[in-house]
Amino acid sequence: MKRFLGIVFFILVIGVLLKACIRRDIPGCIPCNIKPHNLEEIIYPADEKNATINGVDYLQSQAAIGKFGGELVISAIGEGPKTFNPCNTKDATSSSMAGMMYDGLLTTNPRDGRVMPLLAKDYEIDGNEYLIHLRHGIKWTDGKPITADDVMYTYNEVVFKGLGNPSTMDAMKVDGVLPKIEKIDDYTVKFTTPKIFAPFLRQLSYPIVPKHYFKPYSDRGESEFNAFLNPDTPPNEIVSSGAFKLKEYVAAQRVVFERNPNYYKINLDNQKLPYLDKVVYMIVGDTNNEILKFEAKELDVIAIPGSSVARYKIKEPKSDYIIYNIGPNTGTLFLVINLNNRKDKNGKPYVNPIKHKWFSNRDFRAAIDWAIDRENMVKNIASGVAEPLFTAESLNSIYLNKYIKGHPCDLEVAQKSLEKAGFKKKNGKLYDEEGHRVEFDLYTNAGVLEREALGVMIKQDLENLGMKVNFKPVEFNSLVNKLTNTHDWDMAIMGLTGSPLEPHDGKNVWTSSGSLHMFNQRPANYDKDDRLEWEKELDEIFRNGALKLTYEERKPLYDRYQTIIYDQKPIIYLYSPIRIMAIRKKFKNVFPTSLSGLIYNLDEIYIEEQN
């Protein structure tokens, strides 16, 4: 516990010391005149184009021609990847690293969110039919061609069977029915959805995997497939398609990727990309260690914590790095409460029935919401480089419900809400109407200092109400297992990545059968009669929202889902960090965007020799 209190004390001290600088230079909480969302000074290249050369359908970058060679070193918080199987990733680190190696048919334009071809050369849409034309002549890293058979296998035998992470399967269903896929020829496939389905095109960003390499494992069943491409897999055995392929993995130290000579993107001189020889993920234990390594020039890129932004900005003119304001985080940071009232196979309740009675009381959850001091979190943990968050959609989402204004911390309102729910405070301690002391566990993933500091602060906020909170940071995999498998937890501080363009991507969180419906997780074959009334409404919203084609038709539905979550509070949102990132000046073709971040285009980035 002393370690966590020390972290918070350090953050508080830095916040106080820098307060004058921050308040002077921040218009609207953006530090040191880093203009919010203002990336107009950057000259972005034109969209990539198709270029057929000697029968091969390349994707041609329109960015400036760079120099080949060198490496870029970035960091990964925690213990490293849990898998290199792109179909089975359940954490951000594994997803990022698998994403280095495997591409999808389509991708998203990093600036405006338009859907664009990737492994596909182009596509056609006719109602509920999607005709996808693959690139001719492109290859896997083992030299074998990428064809329609790989696409058919990926969807029919992996996605549609729910192997690995089933969230894509969940998101692709229309009224419980999956799309159909048909092979037209070796380089053409056709998808047909049961109805016109607005989110479908974006689902085609799912990574395509090589049939000849993956099929022997999927044929052996789910457990074999999920174990496939574990971190012990010899790198030279892995067959992939992305700009970089795995070269080396040293547990808890680093992951090294090297350029894929078979990659299908070229520059304006028709030379094969990427420029960099290597991309190295250095595994760092926590964000504090990450800062030390960046300052020691062991890392080339860093997301600067709020407490350090002013100091970095002051040093920038004489430094070897440049700072960018990327805007609000596209993900969400929140406190989730376990509403599960089910029992395990031995008949034991997942959640203590006494606690479940508290957690299932909406007024109890509202009291927690009113007791949380978001403004204090923004000031003292994010050092002003954040905004309070009250909605399930991120602040940069085009579907953000702007009518939800939130509220300040108010312990008096919180106390009245508890009294309404039958709780009473005696000698500074809170008891329920049956005389049970209100005590529960609060979890988060260890090593992420921001979340550890949030845990200490939330513990204090709730203890102001007389609750006893046992704060327990645990290893990330253990936390995920609690939330999605064993269900033996009370509350947790978590974060989820999100799409500012498509709320349906969160279907697996909000629908009652979703694989990430963590606040009330159900087994695969659940009884729909046990849904709460507001869960039933969420199910209908996400079913209907996917069937509406226009933004104007969809917006009121997604406004309503955010209102339900705000009113019912199974998840209580905290704040949205403003992403301030730094990268060494020697790296060129860096085109940051609020949608995609700083180094989404690793295949185009190169090193310019410094004088």
Same domain, 571 and 438: yes
Per-residue pLDDT at 38: 53
Q: pLDDT confidence of 611, banded at 50, 70, 90?
A: low
Q: Which of 229, 244, 262 is the last residue of a domain?
A: 229
Tokens of 324: 């960018």
End-to-end CA distance of the chain: 48
Least confident of 6-20, 296-310, 390-404, 525-539: 6-20
CATH code: domain of residue 103: 3.90.76.10
In this structure, which amino acid lies at residue 397?
A: S
pLDDT at 501 over 70: yes
Per-residue pLDDT at 610: 61
Domain annotation covers residue 172: yes
Same domain, 363 and 215: no
State pLDDT tens for residues 209-236: 999 999 999 999 999 999 999 999 999 9
CATH code: domain of residue 556: 3.10.105.10
Per-residue pLDDT at 425: 95
Domain annotation covers residue 297: no
Same domain, 347 and 216: no
Per-residue pLDDT at 394: 93
In this structure, which amino acid lies at residue 501?
A: L
Q: Is 261 exposed, middle or buried (0-12, 13-18, 19+ CB in 10 A)?
A: exposed
How distant is the alpha carbon of residue 256 from its chain centre?
A: 22
Q: What is the pTM of this model?
A: 0.78
Q: Which of 194, 214, 229 is the last residue of a domain?
A: 229
Per-residue pLDDT at 133: 98
State pLDDT tens for residues 185-202: 999 999 999 999 989 999
Total domains in the chain come to 2
Angle at 87 between CA 213 and CA 581, to 5 degrees: 120
Q: What is the mean pLDDT of residues 120-141?
A: 97
Domain annotation covers residue 474: yes
Tokens of 191: 């998808």
Tokens of 409: 């911390």
Q: What is the mean pLDDT of residues 148-161?
A: 97
Q: Please, how many CA atoms are within 13 Å of residue 79, restricted to the half-sphere of its CB?
A: 10
Instruction: Kindly list the distances between the CA atom of residue 558 and the CA atoms of 100, 369, 399, 521, 566, in Å, as whole numbers in the listed order.
Output: 32, 22, 7, 22, 12
Helix (H) or strand (E) holding 278: strand 278-284
pLDDT at 10 over 60: no
pLDDT at 526 over 90: no
Same domain, 336 and 215: no
Per-residue pLDDT at 25: 31
In this structure, which amino acid lies at residue 597?
A: G
pLDDT at 451 over 60: yes
pLDDT at 607 over 80: yes
Domain annotation covers residue 251: no
- Percentage of the chain with pLDDT > 90? 74
Q: What is the mean pLDDT of residues 77-105?
A: 92
Per-residue pLDDT at 514: 87
Q: What is the mean pLDDT of residues 32-52?
A: 75
Domain annotation covers residue 261: no
Helix (H) or strand (E) holding 185: strand 180-185
Average pLDDT along the chain? 90
Domain annotation covers residue 343: yes
Least confident of 346-355, 356-365, 422-431: 346-355
Per-residue pLDDT at 223: 93
Same domain, 336 and 474: yes
Per-residue pLDDT at 184: 98
3-state secondary structure of 31: helix
In this structure, which amino acid lies at residue 22?
A: I
- Percentage of the chain with pLDDT > 70? 92
State pLDDT tens for residues 244-294: 999 999 999 999 999 999 999 999 999 999 999 999 999 998 888 999 999
pLDDT at 44 over 50: yes
Domain annotation covers residue 375: yes
Question: The domain containing residue 413 runs over which residues?
Answer: 332-577
Closest-CA residue to 584 (of 73, 214, 152, 78): 73
Q: Which of 199, 229, 259 is the last residue of a domain?
A: 229
264 vs 136: CA distance, rounded Å: 10
State pLDDT tens for residues 379-410: 999 888 999 999 999 998 999 999 999 999 99
State pLDDT tens for residues 406-417: 999 999 999 999
Q: pLDDT confidence of 9, banded at 50, 70, 90?
A: very low
Range ranked top by mean pLDDT from 264-278, 482-496, 586-600:
264-278
Domain annotation covers residue 19: no
Q: pLDDT confidence of 36, banded at 50, 70, 90?
A: very low
Same domain, 348 and 479: yes
